[in-house]
């Protein structure tokens, strides 16, 4: 029988624990480099100007009410989300082989995909899910919670602070045929390291050869490079190569709609005879509808309405692209600024460098997106927190959004001091 007394205490989520510790720290110059949300140059949350506009448009609509959305979500939103991720002229959309469901942001989209695969994959036991090492920590529990086995593929090379392409390819080659491979579409979290186009092609070749299933997680489209098409390149490439695939899409970062939970799950069937793939896609959509109904019944309305207003209006869409460039541009500037400051300090005093590999900070500017994997050790991270009141995850990941023109010198001074 169930006994509440047998339920052990679970550890606190490390990231949310970090946020709590930061909030409770009274030190005036404290710096939050843990948070995975954009901050402006004054370390404040930023409401995108285009989101403010869309909000006003939404509120002035006399027809606005609080009715339920359809199970699959707001149609104008899911349609626009498809075009955004696959390209407006995508043959997959044209052929009717994309099934899209509005989800509880990116997390809900990954979950819906995981649940669908756990339930409908023809193999028993279902194939193992391969996650990059490291990956967004939540991937581990989202996939295991639906009963799927997980494994790792090498991703980050501590030596080069770049992609371990050889390790990645050889592990995918050796994985049992038909495995599920989770790929970060752009701005890999936590490393900030993305494959080049050539490397993506090599990854696609191995996935094809082994009959694996590519599962894309896209949480940073447009936020990574400032260019929506560039950040969707890998997904569009795989789709153009005729893969059957799925995509978990989040609008948390690129619209700054974190708490509104706007996301989408897309299933893209392989381009068999058009009629066949339409039937397949329809069947898949019908099953997703049942899963969605039992899980959340229907998705939340507000965030999808905001995104939909912007995505479906060319003028607002252009303003959104400008806002994306503002965010990605500020982050790129901070990357360069931090790198320059660290390198200048090392040049100015190279007398007592303890760890030679930490004298090179080129990876800060070659990495992309919200995060940088600094290469700082767990003990260095601890000193940064205890002595300098600078908060980051134990693996040395820093959120570039937490750096601004007011704290960048302080952060550089602190990092420089712990590497000596």
How do beta strands 162-163 and 156-157 pair?
antiparallel
Catalytic site includes residue 253 = yes
Q: Does 252 bind ligand PMP (CB under 6 A)?
A: yes
Place of tokens 């790929």: 183
| Shorter beta-carbon distance to ligand PMP: residue 372 or 380 | 372
Show the tokens assigned to 90.
Answer: 């995508």
Q: Does 73 bind ligand PMP (CB under 6 A)?
A: no
Q: Does 184 bind ligand PMP (CB under 6 A)?
A: yes
| Shorter beta-carbon distance to ligand PMP: residue 36 or 222 | 36
Cα dihedral sign for 396, 400, 404, 409? Answer: positive
Cα–Cα–Cα angle for 220, 138, 79, nearest 5°? Answer: 40
**Looking at 32, 164, 194, 217, which residue is catalytic?**
217
Catalytic site includes residue 320 = no
Contact code string over 296-335 relative to ligand PMP, x by CB under 6 A: ----------------------------------------
**Looking at 253, 267, 320, 416, which residue is catalytic?**
253
The window from 99-107, 204-212, 358-366, 382-390 that contacts ligand PMP (CB under 6 A) reads 99-107
DSSP annotation of 395 reads: T
Binding residue (CB under 6 A) for ligand PMP from 78, 100, 105, 245:
105
Cα–Cα–Cα angle for 306, 220, 245, nearest 5°? Answer: 100
* Contact assessment for residue 102 and residue 70, using Cβ atoms and an 8 Å cutoff: no
| Calpha distance 263→177 (Å, rounded) | 30
Show the tokens assigned to 70.
Answer: 């359809």
Beta carbon of residue 151, minimum distance to ligand PMP (angstroms, whole number): 18
Show the tokens assigned to 399.
Answer: 């959120």
| Shorter beta-carbon distance to ligand PMP: residue 98 or 110 | 110
| Calpha distance 310→306 (Å, rounded) | 7
How do beta strands 397-399 and 262-268 pair?
unpaired
Binding residue (CB under 6 A) for ligand PMP from 34, 35, 36, 215:
36
Beta carbon of residue 297, minimum distance to ligand PMP (angstroms, whole number): 18
Active site residues: 136, 217, 253
Query: Binding residues for ligand PMP, per CB under 6 A?
Result: 36, 105-107, 136, 184, 189, 217, 219, 250, 252, 258, 263
């Amino acid at each position: 029988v169930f006994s509440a007394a047998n339920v052990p205490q679970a550890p606190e989520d490390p990231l949310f624990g970090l946020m709590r510790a930061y909030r409770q720290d009274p030190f005036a110059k404290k710096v939050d480099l843990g948070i995975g949300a954009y901050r402006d140059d004054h370390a404040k949350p930023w409401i995108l100007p285009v989101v403010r506009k869309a909000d006003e448009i939404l509120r002035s609509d006399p027809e606005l009410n609080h009715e339920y959305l359809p199970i699959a979500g707001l149609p104008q939103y899911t349609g626009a989300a498809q075009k955004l991720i696959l390209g407006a002229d995508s043959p997959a959309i044209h052929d009717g082989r994309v099934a899209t469901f509005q989800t509880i942001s990116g997390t809900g989209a990954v979950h819906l995909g995981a649940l669908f695969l756990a339930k409908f994959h023809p193999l028993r036991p279902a194939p193992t899910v391969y996650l990059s090492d490291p990956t967004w920590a939540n991937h581990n529990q989202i996939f295991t919670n639906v009963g799927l086995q997980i494994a790792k593929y090498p991703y980050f090379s501590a030596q080069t602070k770049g992609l371990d392409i050889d390790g990645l390819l050889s592990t995918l080659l050796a994985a049992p045929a038909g495995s599920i491979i989770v790929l970060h579409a752009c701005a890999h979290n936590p490393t900030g390291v993305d494959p080049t186009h050539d490397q993506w092609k090599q990854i696609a070749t191995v996935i094809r050869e082994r009959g694996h299933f590519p599962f894309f997680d896209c949480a940073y489209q447009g936020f990574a490079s400032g260019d929506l098409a560039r950040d969707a390149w890998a997904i569009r490439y795989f789709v153009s190569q005729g893969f059957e695939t799925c995509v978990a899409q989040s609008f948390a970062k690129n619209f700054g709609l974190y708490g509104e939970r706007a996301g989408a799950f897309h299933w893209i069937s392989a381009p068999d005879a058009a009629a066949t793939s339409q039937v397949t896609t329809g069947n898949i959509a019908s099953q997703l509808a049942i899963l969605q109904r039992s899980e959340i019944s229907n998705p939340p309305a507000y965030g999808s309405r905001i995104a939909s207003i912007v995505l479906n209006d060319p003028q607002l869409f252009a303003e959104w692209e400008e806002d994306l460039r503002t965010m990605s541009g500020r982050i790129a500037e901070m990357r360069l600024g931090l790198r320059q400051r660290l390198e200048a300090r090392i040049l100015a005093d190279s007398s007592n460098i303890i760890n030679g590999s930490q004298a090179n900070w080129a990876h800060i500017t070659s990495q992309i997106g919200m995060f940088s994997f600094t290469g700082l050790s767990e003990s260095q991270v601890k000193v940064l927190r205890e002595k300098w009141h600078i908060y980051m995850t134990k693996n040395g990941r820093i959120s570039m959004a937490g750096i601004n023109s007011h704290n960048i010198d302080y952060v550089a001074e602190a990092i420089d001091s712990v590497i000596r």
